[in-house]
Amino acid sequence: MAGLFAGTAIYLWFAANQAVIAAMMAKEDRIAADRLSHASLLEAASLSPSQLRRFAHNDVTHLARLLASPLSGAANGGDRRRVQHGRR
* Whole-prediction pTM: 0.66
Q: What is the DSSP string of 32-71?
A: EEETT--HHHHHHHHHSSSEEEEE-TT-HHHHHHHHHSPP
At 57 the pLDDT is 97
Q: What is the pLDDT along the chain (88 residues), one digit of tens a residue?
A: 567 777 787 788 888 988 999 899 999 999 999 999 988 899 999 989 999 999 999 999 999 999 999 887 654 444 444 555 554 4
Domain spans, the chain: 2-84
CATH of domain 2-84: 3.40.640.10
Strand-pairing partners, residue 76, are none
